[in-house]
A and B are shown apart, each in its own frame.
Chain A
Amino acid sequence: MTAPHVTLGDVLLPESGAKQTDKFRTENSSLWSQSVEEVLLCRVMASASIPAYNSSNNPLENSSSHNASRESLKMEPLADVTLLPGEERIIDKDIIYICPFSGALKGKVFITNYRLYFKSADADPAVTLDVPLGAIGRVEKMGGASSRGENSYGLDITCKDMRNLRFALKQEGHSRRDIFDILFRYAFPLSHGLLLFAYLSQEKFEENGWSIYKPVEEFRRQGLPNDKWRITFINANYELCDTYPTILVVPFKATEEDLRKVSTFRSRGRIPVLSWIHRENQAVICRCSQPLVGMSGKRNKDDERYLDLIREANGTAKLTIYDARPSVNAVANKATGGGYEGEDAYQNAELVFLDIHNIHVMRESLKKLKDIVYPNVEESHWLSSLESTHWLEHIKLVISGAIQVADKISGGNSVMVHCSDGWDRTAQLTSLAMLMLDSHYRTLRGFQVLLEKEWISFGHKFANRIGHGDKNHADQDRSPIFVQFIDCVWQMTKQFPTAFEFNERLLVTILDHLFSCRFGTFLYNCESARDTNELRSKTVSLWSLVNSDASSYQNPFYTPESNRVLYPVASMRHLELWVTYYIRWNPRIRQQQQSPVEQRYIELLALRDEYLKKLEELQLSDSSPNSSHLSNSSTPNAASPTQHITHLHTPF
C-alpha cells in the first residue's frame, strides 16, 4: 500500500527509469481499482460536505475553505470556491481525480497561486478537493508515454497533511506537462524565485494577530524582571545569537560580558536563558543548546559559573539539567564538538537524559503512521501496526519528559532543558511543561503567546522542518516536530477536557496553516530572518484569523482554574491516536462530534442571545411609558447577563 510515494518520479529523478514505472503500473491497478461499494460510499459522503458549525474539519475540504467563506466580502468566485483576496487563478483543466475511496472521478482542476481545487463533474453530489499549495510536499509524474491501462498516466501529489492525491490526464497534447510545471512552480515558489502566498495575500481582519505576543509584557506577567532576573537587550541586533529573539531574560548577576563568554561554549550561541518562572517558589525553566564539550571534554568556567547563578537565584540545591536526548546520542554528539554537562564540571547540577529521539526518527515514525492510515486504514492487526510505528511511544516520551520538568518546578527546583541545538525537543519540553504549570497558556490567547514565545521567537526552524515553498522533499532537515507537539497538546486536552479554553478545531487549524503559507506566522526559522524579510509588516498572522472568530475555537466546557498543575498520564494505556487529525481524509472515519451536552450548551448559548435581544427590544420599547418596572437594571445592552441575574427579582 505504500507504493505511491515510494516510487520515484521520472522528472525529479529521471534516472529511476522505466522499471519503476512498470512496477508502478501493477501496483496501481490493484490499489486503485475500487469496488462499487466504495464509489457509492464516497459519493454519499461528499454529499454531506456542507459544513455545520460543529464540523471542525471536513474530510473533503480543507478547513481553510471554511475560514475563507467567512471573509466572503471581497472574494471573487472560482467555480464554487471563493478566492482569497490576493489569490489569482492560474489555470484550469479537465482531469480525472483518482479518489482512493470512490475511484476515478472526472472533473475540473483549478490552480491558483494559493490552492489546488478540484470539483468532480459527473458525480452527484460533487466531490471536491481544496488543497492549499503549501500543503503539497512533492509532485511527480506517474506513467509514461508507453503506459497502458486506464488512468495510469498522470500526476501523483504527496501532501504534508497526511494524504496523497492522484490525478489522471489524457496523454495527448502536453496537458500533463503544463499542469505539472505550474504546480511545481506555484507549490514550491521559493525554489522558483517567487514569493510565498503569505506575501501576496490581501486579507484583512478585525484583529491584528501580530500584537498577540509582546515579550516584555509576557515577562511582566510572570513577574519579571525582579531582583534575581533581568531583561537584557544584548541580542538586539542578533549579535550574541542569530537564532534567538532580541529580548532575553538572564540571571541578574550575569554581566553582558559573561553572556558573551557563555555563548562561545554553547552550540550556535544559544545560551541558557529564562523561559518561565514560577510565581511562588521562583523556580525557573531555562532553555539552551548543548555545551561544546567535544571529544576532549572541554570545560568552560564561565558556563559553569553561569549555571550556578541560575541555580542560586531561588536557592535550588541542585540545578536539574534535562538533556532531551538519549544518552547514547549525547555521547555521540561529542564527536561533532557537542556533548553534555559532565559531573565533574557541574557539581551543583544533576543531569537527566529523557531519551527522546531525534528529528529523523520522528519523521520516519510519522511516515509509517501515514502508511497505515492512508489511504486505507490497516484492517487486521491495527493495534500492533500502530504500535510498530512507535508514534504514540514518542508522544509518551515527550509528555513524560515535560511532566518531569513540571514536577521539578512545582517542587521549587529550577531546571534547564536542552537537546542538541535547543530548538526542537527543547521547545517541545519547555512549552508542554509551561502548559502544565501555567493556566494562562491554556487559554485561547495564552496558547498563542506560548507558541509565539517558545516556538517562533526561540527559533524552531519552521522553514527547514516544514520546507515552506521548497521543492526538496527529501531534505533531511524536515521533521514533524511541531505536529508532534500539537499532538501532545491534544492528548492533554483529551485527558483534561475542561482545562483548556480552546478546542480541537484550533489545533487542526494551526496544523493546516502550518503548511498552507497563507499566514506569516510559521514562516522562516528565526526572528532575524523574519526581520530581514519584513514578515510582520508584509504578511498576516494566523492569530488575526483565529481571534477575529474566537468563538469557533472555544471549548464550551472550559472551567478556568488557575494555579493548578496538570499532570497528564503518560502511559500507552491512556494515549490515543488523534484519529480526527491523522485519519480525517478517510470518509469512513466520523468527524469530531459534539457530545449531547456540548450540543445543549450551544443551543443554550443561542437561546440566551435570542432572549437578550428580545429583552433589549422590550426594554427599549418600554422605556418611554413605564420604565419603572425595570428600575433595578441598568441599560440592558451595557449590563451583562450576570449583572442582571444578581439584581433580579422574579415575577412569580
Chain B
Amino acid sequence: MLTGSKTTFKVRQMVPDMKERMLSHSGVNARGRDMFGLRCLPGECVLQRAVLVRKKLTAKEGGGWLSGTLFCTHFRVAFVPQDSPKADDNADPVLLGDHDVALASIEKVVAVGPSRTKLVTASSSLKFTPEELVLYCRDLRVLCFLFDRLTPDTQAVEITYTIAKTYQPLKPGAVLSFQNAALGSVEMKQFLSNRRRDAHMNWFDSLSDWEQELERTGACGWRVSSVNDRFEMSTSLPKFNVVPQKVLDTELKKTFAHFNEGRIPRWCWRHPRGSDLLRMASFQSNIYHEKDDIRNLELILFGGQSLCVVVELGEEMPSPTDIQLAHTRLRALCLGDISTSVSVPDDKWLSTLESTHWLDYTRCCLRKAVEVACLLRGGHLTVVLQEAEDRDMTCVVSSLVQVMCDPHCRTRTGFQGLVQKEWVMAGHRFLSRINYHRDSDKEEAPVFLLFLDCVWQLWVQYPSRFQLTGDFLLALQDSFHLPLFSSFLANCHRERCKRSQNLSQSYTPVNGWRDVPPRGSIPDPSDPPLPPVWDWALQYSSQRRERFTQPVPPPALPQPLLNGNLNTNPDAHRLSDSTPGSVFLLSRGSFSCSANLLPWRSGGGSGVYRKSHRRGGSSSENLPGLERLLKAWALTELPQGHTTTTAGLQGPLDPYEPLLPLLLGPCVGVWRDCYLRGALHAQAFSHPISSSTQHPVEQLAWEVQQIRDQIALASSPTNTAPAKRQEPRRTDSNLNQNTNNSTFLFPASRPPGPVVSRTTPPTSNLQPRVPPPSSAPLSRPGHRDSSKHTFLFGHPSSSEARPDQRYFPAPNNNAKLPKSNGSSLSS
C-alpha cells in the first residue's frame, strides 16, 4: 500500500503497528485518521516519532518554544503541539499542518550534539545523540527542534536517521515517489478529483475565459482564436490566443512560421487608455516574406493601433543564468548554515548582498515594466514585448506591467488569474526552470521568484493599493518549492493537457479507479492527479488563508471598461503626429526606428509593403512624443506620492494611475520575511503580541459597532422627533448600503481625532481587549448584522468568525498612502 515508495525508501525502522494500519486501509470514506495524535492523510504512514520535542517558533509565530511530538512520515516531517485541539475527522485533509514541512522541501538535515554538529545524509551514521535537529528547507525556512532530556535517546537518533534517509535530495524519480506519498492513495485521488476549482478566478484555459478577459479590459478589435487547439501551430503556446479580429484563422496559420517556436505576437492586456500589450518571440530569420503574410504580420503587430513599439527584452534584462547565479548567492548569503560554518561576516552583509546582484535584477525588471507602463498610458499604440523565446522575461515584464496598472491584478484572485495567463498558460517553463527532477541543471533559474520579489517590492511601497498581502506572496513562494502542483510541473499548456488526458484514461476502469500499482512496479508517469497551486485549502488552514488578503477593504474595483473608455488622456495629442504604421524599438531607455527592426520591412524583397507607407522608417518626429511618455515616469513618481495624500481627502484616486515604484538604492530592499526568516539569529525577534489579544483595528471596529448600536437604540423610539433624531437612523442605513458616502463619515478636513479619543485604546486595554471575538452582539444571526460588520471590517464575505485573525503592520510600511475613499467603497 505504500505506493511506489518502497522502492526508494530504506526505512530503518517502522513503527510497529504500521502493517496493521496498512491493512486497515480500505475504508474509502475515512479521509484521515489519527496516528499517535497526528492526523494522517489517507495512505500516509508514520515512520518514526519522537516525544517531548520542542520546536523553535519564528518571530511571526510569536517566538519562543513549543512542546509537542515530532513525526516523520514518508511525506512530511510533522510536529503536533502538546495540547493542539483534536482535529475534526470529517474535515478535508490538509496536506501540511502549520508546523509541518514536506520532505521534498527539505534540503539539509543537521544534527547538533553536545559538542558538534553534523550534516546527516542517508548514508551517514551518527556517533552522538542529537540534542537539536535543524532542517534547512529549499524555501529558505529553517526548522529547529530541540530534544528534551526525557526524549528517549533512541527516538532522537532514529527520527534523525529516518528523516535523513527519507527526505530525498531531489533527483529524477524522487519527485514522483514523493507525489505518490502525498497524493497517491485511492482516497486522496478521489478526493482530489472531486475538488472544485476556484470559480472566482480566471483560469484562461477555455475560449470563454479569454473572452471574459477581453470584456473585462474593454478590448475591442480582438478575438480569441482556437487555431492552436491541437497545438499544431505552436507546441508551447496555449490552445487559445488573442489576435486581431481582422486576421482570419487561415491567414493566421501562415504567420506562425515567422516566429521562433511559432510564438506569434499575442494580445495580453489592454490598458484602460486604450493601448494594447502584446508579447512575441524573436523573428524567424531566413524566411521568405510573402506579401500577404506581411500584411497579416503587420495587422497582428498593430492590432488596429497606429503605432507600435517593440520592447526588446534580450540585452538589458538579466538572463536566466544570471538569475540563477544571483539567487544561489542570495540563498547562500541569507541562509545562515551552521553545518558549513561559512558565513558572511555581518559587517560585510550589505556589500555582499549587493554583489549577489539580485536586487539589481529586481530593479531592472521593475524599471522595464515602468517604461512599458508609461508607454501604455499614452494610448493608441501597441507595445510588443519581444524575447528570443518569449518564455521568461516577457512573463515577468508583462505581468509586472499589469500589476502596476490594473487594480484587478492586485487582488488575490486577480493575481492568480494573471499568473495563469502570463506564466502557466503562456508556457513559462516552470518544470525546467525549477528543475525539480534535477535533470535540467543548465536550465534552472527561478525567474518566477524574481517576479514574486518584484511584486513584493511594489507591495511594500504601496501596501494600501493591494488586496493581497505579503503572506500570500510568501505562500506562493513556498509552494513553488513543493513539487506537487500541476501549475508548476509542466512547461506548457500542451504538457498539462497530455498529462490530464493520460490521467483521465487511467481513471476509466470499471471499478471507478485503478488499483494502486503493485509494490515495486514502475508507477505510471501520469500518476497521481496533481492539484493546482491555487487550491490553497490543501495547504493552509483557513486562518492562514485569511491573511492572504488585507483585513481592510481593498480599493474599489472599477467597473469593466467598454472599448477603453477611459480615453480622456491629455497626452494623447502628443502622439497624434505620428505616422501611421510606424514601428519603434525601445532599448536602453531610448527609441529608434531602425530599418531592419521588422525583418520584412528591411531589404528590397519586401519593399512592396513598405511603399504603402509614406515614410516607412524616417518618421523620427514621433520620437519626442514617445520620449515624453517615458519621462512622464519621473514626473508621476511624485504626484503619486504626494497629491494622493491630499487628493484622498477630496476625491477618489484614479484607480488606473500605475503604481510606479521608486528604484533608488534605499528604496529597493531585501525581502526579509522570505529570505531572512531562516537565519537563526533572526529568530531572536520576539513580537510583543500574544495571540489572545485582538488587533487594535478590530478592537476599535468593535467599539464603533457598539456605539452605532447604541445610537440605533437611542434613536429608535423617537421617530416622531424632528430632523436631529432621524439623522442617525439615516446614517445607519446609509452605512450598510451606501458606504461610499464617505464625505458624510469623514469630513474632508478632519484631523486624526481629538486627544480624548486617542487616549482610549491604550487605557482601555482591560475590557475592550478581551471582547469576545465576534462577541455577543456580533454573533447575532441574520445577514443584516453581517453586512454591518462588513462595513466595519470591510470583508465582504468572511466578516463573521474571524476572531483569530491577526494583522501586523508590514515591517516596511514605508509605502505610500493613497488616502482614498476606496476603503469605504467596498460595498
Interface residues of A (CB under 8 A from B): 37-38, 40-41, 44-45, 47-50, 52-55, 373, 377-379, 381-387, 392-393, 396, 443, 494-499, 501, 549-552, 554, 556-561, 564, 566-567, 569, 571-574, 576-577, 579-580, 583, 587-612, 614-615, 617-619, 621-622, 625-626, 629-630, 633, 640-642, 644-646, 648-652
Q: How far is the CB of B741 from chain A (nearest CB, A)?
A: 13
Within 8 A of A (CB), among B679-701: 679, 681-682, 684-690, 693, 695-697, 700-701
Specify which chain A residues have a CB less than 8 angstroms from the CB of B777 in the assembled complex: 648, 650, 652
6 cross-chain pairs, A with B, having the tightest CB-CB distances, nearest first: A382-B665, A48-B642, A383-B354, A596-B464, A551-B758, A387-B350
Whether A572 contacts B823 by the Cβ 8 Å rule is no
Whether B499 is near chain A, meaning CB under 8 Å from some CB there, is no
Whether B751 is near chain A, meaning CB under 8 Å from some CB there, is yes
Within 8 A of A (CB), among B455-473: 461, 463-464
Q: With contacts A599-B817, A600-B552 known, is A498 near B762, CB below 8 A? A: no
Residue of B645, B688, B700 near A608 (CB, 8 A) is B700
Residue of A50, A606, A612 near B752 (CB, 8 A) is A606
Whether B532 is near chain A, meaning CB under 8 Å from some CB there, is no
Residue of A54, A386, A499 near B350 (CB, 8 A) is A386
Specify which chain B residues have a CB less than 8 angstroms from the CB of A495 in the assembled complex: 685
In angstroms, Cα B347 to Cα A629, docked, is: 67
Residue of B351, B745, B746, B811 near A497 (CB, 8 A) is B811
Q: How far is the CB of A444 from chain B (nearest CB, A)?
A: 9
Q: How far is the CB of B676 from chain A (nearest CB, A)?
A: 6
Task: Kindly report which residue of chain A lies nearest to residue B695, judged by CB atoms.
Answer: A597
Whether B649 is near chain A, meaning CB under 8 Å from some CB there, is yes
In angstroms, Cα B616 to Cα A381, docked, is: 42
Task: Kindly report which residue of chain B lies nearest to residue A52, judged by CB atoms.
Answer: B645
Whether A384 contacts B351 by the Cβ 8 Å rule is yes
In angstroms, Cα B752 to Cα A38, docked, is: 34
Whether B645 contacts A590 by the Cβ 8 Å rule is no
Residue of B348, B350, B689 near A559 (CB, 8 A) is B689
In angstroms, Cα B771 to Cα A434, docked, is: 32
In angstroms, Cα B693 to Cα A540, docked, is: 40
Whether B711 contacts A614 by the Cβ 8 Å rule is yes
Interface string of B799-818 (1 = CB under 8 A from A): 00000000111111111110
Whether B551 is near chain A, meaning CB under 8 Å from some CB there, is yes
Q: With contacts A569-B681, A573-B679 known, is A550 near B666, CB below 8 A? A: no
Whether B814 contacts A606 by the Cβ 8 Å rule is no
Specify which chain A residues have a CB less than 8 angstroms from the CB of B676 in the assembled complex: 573-574
Residue of B688, B754, B809 near A566 (CB, 8 A) is B688
Specify which chain A residues have a CB less than 8 angstroms from the CB of B712 in the assembled complex: 651-652
Residue of A381, A588, A598, A615 near B710 (CB, 8 A) is A615
Q: How far is the CB of B332 from chain A (nearest CB, A)?
A: 14
Whether B765 contacts A560 by the Cβ 8 Å rule is yes
Q: How far is the CB of A268 from chain B (nearest CB, A)?
A: 33
Whether B819 is near chain A, meaning CB under 8 Å from some CB there, is yes
Q: How far is the CB of A60 from chain B (nearest CB, A)?
A: 10
Residue of B685, B717, B758 near A629 (CB, 8 A) is B717
Task: Kindly report which residue of chain A lies nearest to residue B349, judged by CB atoms.
Answer: A572
Q: How far is the CB of A133 from chain B (nearest CB, A)?
A: 27
Whether B634 contacts A618 by the Cβ 8 Å rule is no
Residue of B552, B648, B662, B681 near A588 (CB, 8 A) is B662
Whether B665 contacts A379 by the Cβ 8 Å rule is yes
Whether A47 contacts B706 by the Cβ 8 Å rule is no
In angstroms, Cα B762 to Cα A40, docked, is: 44
Whether B718 is near chain A, meaning CB under 8 Å from some CB there, is yes
In angstroms, Cα B807 to Cα A45, docked, is: 33
Whether B754 contacts A609 by the Cβ 8 Å rule is yes
Whether B767 is near chain A, meaning CB under 8 Å from some CB there, is yes
Q: How far is the CB of B222 from chain A (nearest CB, A)?
A: 35
Whether B550 contacts A377 by the Cβ 8 Å rule is no
Could you list some 21 contacts between A and B, CB below 8 A?
A47-B639, A48-B638, A373-B666, A377-B665, A379-B665, A382-B664, A495-B685, A498-B687, A557-B696, A559-B693, A573-B679, A592-B814, A593-B814, A595-B464, A596-B464, A597-B697, A603-B823, A608-B700, A608-B704, A610-B745, A614-B711
Whether A641 contacts B706 by the Cβ 8 Å rule is yes
Specify which chain A residues have a CB less than 8 angstroms from the CB of B664 in the assembled complex: 377, 379, 382, 588-589
Q: How far is the CB of B724 from chain A (nearest CB, A)?
A: 6
Whether B639 contacts A48 by the Cβ 8 Å rule is yes
Task: Kindly report which residue of chain B lies nearest to residue A579, judged by CB atoms.
Answer: B666
Whether A596 contacts B771 by the Cβ 8 Å rule is no
In angstroms, Cα B679 to Cα A599, docked, is: 32
Specify which chain A residues have a CB less than 8 angstroms from the CB of B461 in the assembled complex: 590
Interface residues of B (CB under 8 A from A): 334, 346-351, 353-354, 359, 461, 463-464, 550-552, 631, 634-635, 637-639, 641-643, 645-646, 648-649, 662, 664-667, 669, 672, 676, 679, 681-682, 684-690, 693, 695-697, 700-701, 703-704, 706-718, 721, 724-725, 727-728, 731, 745-746, 750-762, 764-765, 767-768, 771, 776-777, 780, 782, 784-785, 792, 794, 807-817, 819, 823-824
Task: Kindly report which residue of chain B lies nearest to residue A609, judged by CB atoms.
Answer: B757
Specify which chain B residues have a CB less than 8 angstroms from the CB of A590 in the assembled complex: 461, 641, 662, 667, 814-816
In angstroms, Cα B349 to Cα A45, docked, is: 34
Task: Kindly report which residue of chain A lies nearest to residue B716, judged by CB atoms.
Answer: A651
Q: With contacts A384-B354, A603-B824, A651-B713 known, is A574 near B809, CB below 8 A? A: no
Whether A642 contacts B351 by the Cβ 8 Å rule is no
Residue of A501, A564, A612, A621 near B688 (CB, 8 A) is A564
Q: How far is the CB of B751 from chain A (nearest CB, A)?
A: 5
Specify which chain B residues have a CB less than 8 angstroms from the CB of A496 in the assembled complex: 687-688
In angstroms, Cα B665 to Cα A373, docked, is: 10
Whether A595 contacts B688 by the Cβ 8 Å rule is no
In angstroms, Cα B643 to Cα A549, docked, is: 25
Whether A609 contacts B711 by the Cβ 8 Å rule is no
Specify which chain A residues have a CB less than 8 angstroms from the CB of B697 in the assembled complex: 597, 600-601, 604
Specify which chain B residues have a CB less than 8 angstroms from the CB of A618 in the assembled complex: 711, 714-715, 724-725, 728
Specify which chain B residues have a CB less than 8 angstroms from the CB of A611 in the assembled complex: 704, 707-708, 711
Whether A54 contacts B645 by the Cβ 8 Å rule is yes
Whether B757 contacts A605 by the Cβ 8 Å rule is yes
Specify which chain B residues have a CB less than 8 angstroms from the CB of A649 in the assembled complex: 713
Specify which chain A residues have a CB less than 8 angstroms from the CB of B718 in the assembled complex: 621-622, 625-626
Specify which chain B residues have a CB less than 8 angstroms from the CB of A614 in the assembled complex: 711, 727-728, 731
Q: How far is the CB of B268 from chain A (nearest CB, A)?
A: 29
Residue of B684, B704, B717 near A567 (CB, 8 A) is B684
Whether A589 contacts B354 by the Cβ 8 Å rule is no
Interface-centre pick from A379, A573, A609 (highest chain B CB count, 10 A)? A573
Whether A645 contacts B771 by the Cβ 8 Å rule is yes
In angstroms, Cα B354 to Cα A619, docked, is: 63
Specify which chain B residues have a CB less than 8 angstroms from the CB of A580 in the assembled complex: 814
Whether A646 contacts B767 by the Cβ 8 Å rule is yes
Q: With contacts A48-B646, A610-B745 known, is A626 near B755, CB below 8 A? A: no
Whether A44 contacts B750 by the Cβ 8 Å rule is no
Specify which chain B residues have a CB less than 8 angstroms from the CB of A592 in the assembled complex: 814
Task: Kindly report which residue of chain B lies nearest to residue A51, judged by CB atoms.
Answer: B645
Whether B768 contacts A642 by the Cβ 8 Å rule is yes
Specify which chain A residues have a CB less than 8 angstroms from the CB of B812 in the assembled complex: 576
Whether B552 contacts A596 by the Cβ 8 Å rule is yes
In angstroms, Cα B762 to Cα A554, docked, is: 10
Whether B819 contacts A40 by the Cβ 8 Å rule is no
Whether B706 contacts A645 by the Cβ 8 Å rule is yes
Task: Kindly report which residue of chain A lies nearest to residue B467, judged by CB atoms.
Answer: A596
Besides the contacts A54-B752, A590-B662, what 7 more A-B pairs have beta carbons closer than 8 Å?
Answer: A48-B645, A496-B688, A574-B682, A595-B810, A609-B756, A626-B718, A641-B707
In angstroms, Cα B664 to Cα A383, docked, is: 11
Task: Kindly report which residue of chain B lies nearest to residue A608, judged by CB atoms.
Answer: B704
Whether B714 contacts A44 by the Cβ 8 Å rule is no
Interface-centre pick from A498, A501, A611 (highest chain B CB count, 10 A)? A611
Whether A603 contacts B754 by the Cβ 8 Å rule is no
Q: With contacts A497-B811, A564-B688 known, is A593 near B551, CB below 8 A? A: no
Whether B641 contacts A48 by the Cβ 8 Å rule is yes
Whether B771 contacts A45 by the Cβ 8 Å rule is no
